[in-house]
């Protein structure tokens, strides 16, 4: 209908007066305009009708588990769901919110307990996040260590966590059940500013040959050189909860890069 009318009107253009021509063009415009309006009304508008991601998608929460992307060369020691690859007294260790939780907030810890890797490691860089909760305030990460036969203890190096002897010992190097002393400590005047109490703190442990370096939240706390040739350069990795009042030590995003003595 519209096509035929357009054809007739076009054939008549040559014989119409200027006033008639204007009326004809107006008529054509009125006939074509509704079709274009219908198309524009049926299409969704770019704004307003479409949901915005910030309004309709859930926001990340600090309380939700966070899985860290593995850095190049690193492999995960903990899968976030099970204790596969680890051994220890499961009465004191569990998996919760993609973290290994050691200890309890409901009862005292009768003695030091350790959850240890089944595999031993020599030269490596270990990275993980740790936080403490509860009345007690001490835990640690064993490395180049070994279980004491017939005992709950583990013997070897420990990257200390929390406080001991009335001072912060985060990132200190303790010799657990061997020499039984601090081998090196971070700067006591700066540690309080580096550590986030009750929150997640990142630990880095680097052991290559006779050299050991420890870091807390990116800050170097210890650079130690072992001078005793009888001290083992290899061993298991262990997560500790210290004996004492109700306390929990949480460990997550545990990953390791195996190195050689040239790195």
- Token pair 């061997």 is found at 178
Q: What is the pLDDT of residue 261?
A: 65
On whether the pTM is more than 0.85, the answer is: no
Q: What is the pLDDT of residue 229?
A: 96
pLDDT tens string for the chain (263 positions)? Answer: 544 444 444 454 444 555 555 665 666 566 655 544 444 444 444 444 443 433 344 344 444 456 679 999 999 999 999 999 999 999 999 999 999 999 999 999 999 999 999 999 999 999 999 999 999 999 999 999 999 999 999 999 999 999 999 999 999 999 999 999 999 999 999 999 999 999 999 999 999 999 999 999 999 999 999 999 999 999 999 999 999 999 999 999 999 999 986 65
Q: What is the CA radius of gyration of the chain?
A: 35
Q: What is the pLDDT of residue 18?
A: 58
DSSP class per residue in 214-259: EEETTEEEEEEE---TTS-S-BEEEEEE-SBSSEEEEEEEEEEEE-
Q: What is the pLDDT of residue 8?
A: 43
How far is it, in rounded angstroms, from Cα 86 to Cα 82?
Answer: 9
């Amino acid at each position: 209908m519209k096509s035929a009318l357009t054809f007739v009107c076009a054939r008549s253009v040559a014989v119409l007066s200027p006033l008639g021509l204007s009326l004809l063009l107006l008529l054509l415009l009125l006939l074509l305009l509704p079709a274009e309006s219908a198309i524009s009304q049926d299409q969704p508008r770019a704004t307003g009708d479409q949901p915005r991601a910030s309004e309709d998608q859930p926001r990340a929460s600090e309380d939700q588990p966070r899985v860290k992307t593995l850095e190049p060369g690193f492999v995960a020691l903990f899968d976030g769901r099970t204790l596969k690859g680890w051994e220890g007294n499961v009465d004191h260790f569990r998996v919760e919110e993609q973290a290994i939780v050691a200890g309890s907030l409901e009862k005292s810890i009768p003695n030091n307990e350790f959850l240890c890797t089944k595999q031993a490691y020599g030269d490596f860089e270990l990275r993980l996040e740790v936080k403490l909760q509860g009345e007690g305030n001490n835990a640690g990460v064993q490395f180049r260590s070994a279980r004491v036969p017939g005992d709950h203890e583990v013997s070897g190096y420990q990257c200390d966590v929390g406080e001991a002897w009335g001072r912060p010992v985060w990132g200190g190097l303790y010799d657990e059940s061997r020499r039984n002393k601090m081998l090196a400590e971070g700067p006591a005047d700066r540690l309080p500013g580096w550590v986030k109490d009750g929150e997640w703190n990142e630990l880095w442990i680097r052991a290559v040959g006779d050299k050991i370096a420890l870091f807390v939240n990116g800050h170097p706390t210890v650079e130690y050189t072992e001078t005793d040739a009888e001290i083992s350069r290899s061993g298991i990795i262990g997560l500790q909860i210290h004996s004492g009042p109700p306390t929990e030590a949480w460990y997550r995003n545990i990953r390791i890069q195996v190195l050689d003595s040239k790195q």
